[in-house]
Amino acid sequence: MQLSLGPLQYLWPRQQVFDFYEQMLDLPVDVIYLGETVCSKRRELKTGDWLDLAANLARKGKEVVLSTLALIEAESELKTLRRICRTEGFLVEANDLAAVEQLASQGVPFVCGHSINIYNTHSLAFLIRQGARRWVMPVELSAATLSDILQELAGQQLQVETEVFSHGYLPLAYSARCMTARYHQLPKDNCQFICREYPRGLPARSQEGEPLFTMNGIQTQSGAIYNLLDQVPRMRALGVNLVRLSPAPSGMEEIIRSFDAARRGEPVQVEVGEPTCNGYWFAEPGMIFKSGTSL
């Protein structure tokens, strides 16, 4: 089983981004997804900077995948997308069908990210025939559905790697509106990159103080951290190839080391010091946390 580091969801200052990935070189993550997937206005790193970083990390032994924007609304965004899809030497993660269209037309293999809606074997088989080499399961699907899909697929002689989003705030929705700018009463087209103030998003709680969502620009994330650490053995049994961890501004080394221990078969326990959830995996409301003993 490989450990992957998903694309950075937040806007961090340029140097922080470089420092973060520099740190990853010494940690047991095998695959690193790089690029802006949330908001095309963010420019701490331009596309060229991401490509340079990709080349650098690849040279130092990491498998690098170029990740792409999830919500594509403008011609300028399609232009960036085409540039990334034409870059040679890297696998590309498609997060919108515009990317699948580009990559499949060129006949190159690709990764389907979790915002490509693959809910059944028919859709997955179809995309494999278009060139999908790996898919990241949509985050609201359960282990039971994954098991059904992989069993059905096994009967069809189609090969694909399966990746599961396993740690971090869950990406739940994408909007035309920017919720972070809205909080600051800034118009989106003069947002002043205010989301840079929130390196792990801006928490929204219910009026009773319950953590509900994390606002990250145009993306809405879960208010609790999705954590499948103690499900790594089950993922292995199901045939999951990659366990995805989502970049966090602090504590990343510890997260990676705990998942690395889990994949080596060491006993692990989910720490629930901060709001934690795993409901989707058990076909329950996503916000729920089922503790190890109830499994």
Partner 1 sequence: MELVCPAGSFPALKVAVDEGADAVYIGFRDNTNARHFAGLNFSGDQLHQAIGHAQDRGVKVFVAINTYPQPRGWKNWQNAVDQAADLGVDALICADMGVLEYASRRHPGVSLHLSVQGSATNYEALRFYQRHFNIRRAVLPRVLSIQQVAQVAAQSPVDLEVFGFGSLCIMAEGRCMLSSYVTDQSPNTGGACSPAQHVRWQETPQGLESRLNGVLVDRYPTGAKAGYPVLCKGRFDVQGQVYHAIEEPTSLNTLELIPKLAEIGIKAIKIEGRQRSPAYVQQVVRVWRQALDQFRTTPGSFEPKPRWQQALDKVSEGAQTTLGAYHRPWQ
- Give the residues lining the site for partner 1 (CB under 8 A): 70-75, 77-78, 81, 96-98, 100-102, 104, 115, 117-123, 126-127, 130, 138-141, 145, 148-149, 152, 170, 172-179, 182-183, 187-189, 202-210, 212-213, 215, 220, 222, 279-280, 283-287
Distances in Å between the Cα of 261 and the Cα atoms of 166, 231, 248 are 14, 12, 19
Of 125, 72, 18, 19, the C-alpha closest to 85 is 72
Look up residue 294 and give its DSSP letter.
G
Min dist CB 139 to partner 1, Å, is 7
Residue 47 vs 115, nearer CB to partner 1 = 115
Look up residue 2 and give its DSSP letter.
E
Residue 24 vs 279, nearer CB to partner 1 = 279
Min dist CB 198 to partner 1, Å, is 10
Rounded Cα–Cα distance for residues 214 and 216 (Å):
6
Min dist CB 230 to partner 1, Å, is 21
Min dist CB 75 to partner 1, Å, is 6
Pairing of strands 63-67, 91-94: parallel
Min dist CB 93 to partner 1, Å, is 16
Residues whose CB is less than 8 angstroms from the CB of residue 79 and which lie 6 or more positions away in sequence, other chains included: none
Min dist CB 79 to partner 1, Å, is 11
Distances in Å between the Cα of 78 and the Cα atoms of 40, 62, 70 are 10, 27, 11
How many Cα atoms within 13 Å fall on the side-chain side of residue 92?
A: 33
Residue 23 vs 206, nearer CB to partner 1 = 206
Residue 182 vs 263, nearer CB to partner 1 = 182
Rounded Cα–Cα distance for residues 210 and 122 (Å):
39
- The answer to whether 139 touches 173, Cβ cutoff 8 Å, is no
Residue 73 vs 254, nearer CB to partner 1 = 73
Min dist CB 67 to partner 1, Å, is 16
Rounded Cα–Cα distance for residues 99 and 85 (Å):
7
Residue 91 vs 179, nearer CB to partner 1 = 179
Give 145: exposed, middle or buried? Use CB within 10 Å, 0-12, 13-18, 19+.
middle
Rounded Cα–Cα distance for residues 265 and 272 (Å):
21
Residue 44 vs 148, nearer CB to partner 1 = 148
Min dist CB 206 to partner 1, Å, is 5
Residue 11 vs 29, nearer CB to partner 1 = 11
Residue 128: CB atoms within 10 Å: 19
